[in-house]
Amino acid sequence: MRERSDLGIFRPTVNQPLSPPQRDAAGAALKGQTRVVEPDRGERAIGRRSAETRATVPDLELSVDVDAGRLLQSVERDRVSTTAVLVAACAAALRACPRANGAYRDGHFELYSRVNVAVTLPGPSSQVAATVLDADARSPAELEGELTRLRGRARTGELTPPEQAGATFTLADLGEYGIHRAAALITPPQAAALTAGAVRAVPVVRDGAVTAGRLLTLTLVSDHRILFGAEAAGFLAAVAGHLERGA
């Protein structure tokens, strides 16, 4: 950019460094005392991964409402948590939909032979993801036992790096928080992540009559470079079908 001098001669404009943004002193005073808290190692990692994911992964988001009647029956019959049933449903769908159990990396697809589901669990200061290895080969009761063990270790901050490694897919069960619907961030290079909301009572129409029902909303976020629209929808339908059949 050039500016005109008093003599009518154009001369280059010297770029001046930008001044740092000034704090609004009056506004800051209205907020009371300010306490600066440094994020811990886990919180810094979450922030860094979140920014990187949003910047680099072109994601596709899909949701479906699931009749939760059979899921609740399975929970009562097998004496397990909804999370264990959800892991079983995801694992079965991952086995049936290979691309969902894969990754996009450097212009090609990686498809994995093992189905390892990471489950987000409460940690000492933030959510952490613990991996259930070979989830498709375990019964709901076995999954519940492993989740109980991992949940206890996550709560006390004792999860080891191997217990958080090797995941091919991530599940976040937010039912205990009463959340209806939420979209997760994909954990690169995984192809997808699924969030389950709380089971809620709603009126539903069956055989032309309105009756009481229980619904659960599932939200899938997939990497659109490997798990495209129809395949993502098919995977989500497979998870929903597994839950509704109670298989």
Q: What is the pLDDT of residues 126-172, one digit of tens each?
A: 889 999 999 999 999 999 999 999 999 999 999 999 999 999 999 99
Whether 7 shows a pLDDT value over 90: the answer reads no
- Spatial separation of the C-alpha atoms in residues 112 and 131, rounded to whole Å: 15
Alpha-carbon span 176 to 81, nearest angstrom: 11
126/77 Cα distance (integer angstroms): 32
pLDDT surpassing 80 at residue 94: yes
Report pLDDT for 221. 96
**Per-residue confidence band for 12, with pLDDT thresholds at 50, 70 and 90:** very low
pTM here is: 0.79
DSSP line for 189-229: TBSEEEEE---EEEEEEETTEEEEEEEEEEEEEEETTTS-H
* Stronger pLDDT, 233 or 1, i.e. the higher one: 233
Output the average pLDDT for the chain: 86
* Residue 60, C-beta contacts closer than 8 angstroms, at least 6 positions apart: 221, 222, 224, 227, 228, 229, 232
Own/partner contacts of 141-149, CB < 8 Å, gap of 24 or more, are 141/78, 141/79, 141/80, 141/84, 143/80, 143/84, 143/87, 143/88, 144/78, 144/79, 144/80, 144/81, 144/84, 147/81, 147/83, 147/84, 147/87, 147/119
pLDDT in tens, 63-73: 999 999 999 99
pLDDT of residue 39: 75
pLDDT recorded at residue 55: 56
pLDDT of residue 223: 93
Q: How far apart, in whole angstroms, are the C-alpha atoms of residue 201 and residue 215?
A: 7
Report the share of the chain in percent with pLDDT over 90.
64
Cβ-contact 165, 131 below 8 angstroms? yes
Q: Looking up tokens 């994911």, which residue turns up?
A: 53
Question: Tokens 């996550």 correspond to what residue?
Answer: 154
Per-residue pLDDT, 50: 65
Task: Report which residue type is found at 9.
Answer: I
Q: What is the pLDDT of residues 159-187, one digit of tens each?
A: 999 999 999 999 999 999 999 999 888 99
